[in-house]
A and B are shown apart, each in its own frame.
Chain A
Amino acid sequence: MIEIVSFKGEVYKFDPDTERIFKDGKLIPSTIAEPVFSDIDNNPNFSGIFLKEDNVILSKSGKINSITDINNIY
């Protein structure tokens, strides 16, 4: 299990074998949260959790980062 403690104090756990996510011990459905990965072409590794209701990524370091559409960046 990989544990992330958010700045709000919530404890998220990611099980790499089942790809299931738990928040404060309770299983969260994939309609609410999904794992995110980086470096997928070389060495895919777990980088955080996509929290769909808030459209944010809870990163592995516990920070909550708003997602921006790349077409809105210039």
Chain B
Amino acid sequence: MAQITIGELMRIDAGRIGRANECSVELVKTYHELKKASLLERFKSLFRSTGLINTYYVIFKFLVTSGSGKSYTVLIRTNPDFDLNKWETNPCKVFCSCPDFKFRSAYTLKQRGGLLVNDKIKLELGQALSDKPKREPSLLCKHSYAALTWLVNNYSTLMRTI
């Protein structure tokens, strides 16, 4: 499955985009993840080791506070970009700790390969991972959209720190 990109994720409904403008975003920490991953068949000839290769990801942790004063954690995992300008096509995975994300975004994002999960997140999302949303789904909640917008606006500066 092709991974969803930052550019694709930014295309959500105008209502949420408007509400995201009321959020304040703080970058809390940048993490670095190393994962062994299988190469796609078409790339195997490019590498001597045709099995697993080390794959490098960066994970940005944000604290996003909405207009009502409630704060949620947003995690965004993407590729390091040393060209500093490929945000639109950079694949990413997202998680937000808010209920709207759990019940309207998690399932749909998982189907699109854009949900960031670890053991704790799996526990927290529970059945929301396997049950279709009862309300109209959205790829992102306002908090995750606000964090993603912040990332895009500060993209080259952030990527320079990696």
Q: Does B54 contact A (CB under 8 A)?
A: yes
Contact between chains at B37 and A65 (CB < 8 Å): no
B-facing mask of A25-64, CB < 8 A → 1, else 0?
0000000001111111110100110100000010111010
Q: In the complex, how many angstroms separate the beta carbon of A54 from the nearest chain B beta carbon?
A: 12
B59 within 8 A of A: yes
A60 and B34 contacting across the interface, CB-CB below 8 Å: no
Question: B121 touching A47 by the CB < 8 A rule?
Answer: no
Count of interface residues, chain A, beta-carbon cutoff 8 Å: 28
Given contacts A41-B91, A42-B91, A44-B39, contact A66 B32 (CB under 8 A): yes
> Is B73 engaged at the interface, CB distance under 8 Å to the other chain?
yes
CA–CA, A60 and B32, complex, Å:
14
Contacts of A63 in B (CB 8 A): 161-162
- Of the listed residues B48, B80, B89, the one surrounded by the most CB atoms of chain A closer than 10 A to its CB is B80
- Contact call A40/B40, Cβ cutoff below 8 A: yes
For chain B, residues 101 to 137, give those with C-beta under 8 angstroms from any C-beta of chain A: 118-121
Number of interface residues, chain B, beta carbon within 8 A: 37
Q: How far is A65 from B31 in the complex, measured between Cα atoms in Å? A: 8
Bound CA span A67–B160, Å: 18
Chain B residue numbers with a CB within 8 Å of A40 are 37, 39-40, 43, 53, 55
Cβ of B56 and Cβ of A44 under 8 Å apart?
no
Are B34 and A47 within 8 A (Cβ)? Answer: no
Residue B61 lies at the interface, judged by CB distance under 8 Å to chain A: yes
Q: Which residues of A sit under 8 angstroms from B80, Cβ to Cβ? A: 38, 47-48, 59-60
B35 nearest CB across to chain A (Å): 8
Nearest chain B CB to A7 CB, angstrom units: 13
Chain A residues lying within 8 Å of B161, measured Cβ to Cβ, are 63
Write the B144-162 contact mask toward A (1 if CB under 8 angstroms, else 0): 0000000000000000111
Q: Are B31 and A68 in contact (CB under 8 A)?
A: yes
Q: Which of B46, B56, B73, B90 lies in contact with A36, CB distance below 8 A? A: B56
Q: Are B48 and A18 in contact (CB under 8 A)?
A: yes
Which are the 6 A-B pairs with shortest beta-carbon distances? Answer: A65-B32, A38-B79, A36-B54, A36-B56, A68-B31, A47-B56
